[in-house]
Amino acid sequence: MNTPDFSQTPREGTGELPAGRPLQTDFGTGLDYPRLGSVTFRRGTLTDNQEALFNEHWPRLGKVLTNETDEHIDVDAWFGRSGHPTILEIGSGTGTSTAAMAPLEADTNIIAVELYKPGLAKLLGAVVRGGIDNVRMVRGDGVEVLARMFGEESLDGVRIFFPDPWPKARHHKRRIIQSGTLNLIATRLKPGGVLHVATDHADYAEWIDELVDVEPMLEYKGWPWAEAPLLTDRQVITKFEGKGLNKDHVIREYLWEKK
């Protein structure tokens, strides 16, 4: 797995991404992986209160995937405890579901991954105000975070809730659910670990349906799965889920277990 070399890195502790084109790991597996292209964000700035909270608490609660990140996260040291299961949530958005589920999983370490800083700031604010101590955050692309910040069989669960559907056919290569991503997730899950995906986009659901059995290390369990070893009830309706329901979208959920 070859990683390109970049020289520019953000100031430590600021939560800012490195300048330039996002890093893309060459996995060399022959499988399909999402291609990032240029990362651009919808408009969004932090309020003064969000900025103050972010500056105060991000150094403790957050990490940034830099162009030079090559060390795996020491989860026990980061959370200040050992022996607890760890779940990575890719694309946490504004963290509505993350913050709602975390208190119900107090014995579980939750790491939320998101590129959009205002979304992370909202989650950080909810964590601080709610006294939630089992959530940490990483700013970066989820696939690269998995590949570069976590070792093999280091996670008990991975969650991908309402990923960008990239509805136009020419953009399907950017969808995060691909054969390569499923393989990468499988390598990072411990035996018995769980992958949980949810979407309300019909075409994306059809896309996932074609991939449920593509990765031999993952056993597709369908939905629901009463014996799942981690929480699978998302508890709240997220902003994007609510928009979909208002349009009469059908929510599809998928569960896999690492063999």
User: Which DSSP letter does residue 10 get?
Assistant: P
Q: Which burial class, exposed, middle or buried, applies to 234 when counting CB atoms under 10 A from its CB (0-12, 13-18, 19+)?
A: buried
Q: Which residues are annotated as a binding site for substrate?
A: 168, 200, 238-241
Rounded Cα–Cα distance for residues 18 and 7 (Å): 9
| Cα 150–chain centre separation | 12
What's the farthest any 2 CA atoms get from each other in the chain?
49
Rounded Cα–Cα distance for residues 16 and 60 (Å): 15
CB atoms within 10 A of CB 175: 22
Catalytic-labelled residue, pool 164, 203, 213, 233: 164
Is-catalytic flag, 70?
no
CB atoms within 10 A of CB 182: 25
Amino acid letter for position 79? F
Q: Is 138 helix (H, G, I), strand (E, B) or coil?
A: strand
Tell how strand 252-258 and strand 218-220 pair up.
antiparallel
CB atoms within 10 A of CB 15: 21
Residues classed as catalytic: 164
